[in-house]
Amino acid sequence: MASFNFKQKPHGVFRALLHAPVWVFRSRLGFLFGERIVMLEHRGRRSGKLRQTPLEVVRRRGDSFILCSGTGPNADWFRNIKATPALALWVGSRRHEVAQRFLPESEAATAFAGYEADHPRAAERLQALMGVGHDGTHDSRVQMVGKIPMVELRLRD
């Protein structure tokens, strides 16, 4: 099986594979992903162009979705929403305007602990791909999430 370096921008077939869900959401078929995959709508920090990025949900609490930058703080989508707040979040077949909040590391560590409990294999793969890990303690998790920052998006409508 091919290995991918998540510290570099994806390209080629892998990039196309990562962006395939965009076409599913645009076709109003996002419900096929349930609520585990959402699509973030944001503006490019340099181009100002509309961008759409499919992302996995770390935690959901009511109308609030926590997302992590699984490729680190330099992911384009993450840098874009730091420069200009996110426009919307597609959940299923619906587009919702959002308010965003970047999680402090302690809160992000707690959210990641919940993700690990709900999706242990996915959490293990993410940590392996990112080259990060922890010893099971909250303090160790706090250090780890410094490399995979998280944002909370609350639906406005």
Confidence of residue 41 (pLDDT cuts 50, 70, 90): very high
Give me the percent of the chain exceeding a pLDDT of 90: 45
Confidence of residue 1 (pLDDT cuts 50, 70, 90): very low
Higher per-residue confidence, 71 vs 77: 77
3: pLDDT strictly greater than 60: no
Over residues 14-35, mean pLDDT = 77
| Total count of residues recorded for the chain | 157
Rounded CA-CA distance 58/66 in Å is 5
- Pick the most confident of 10-24, 64-78, 82-96: 82-96
Domains and CATH numbers, the chain: 12-155 (2.30.110.10)
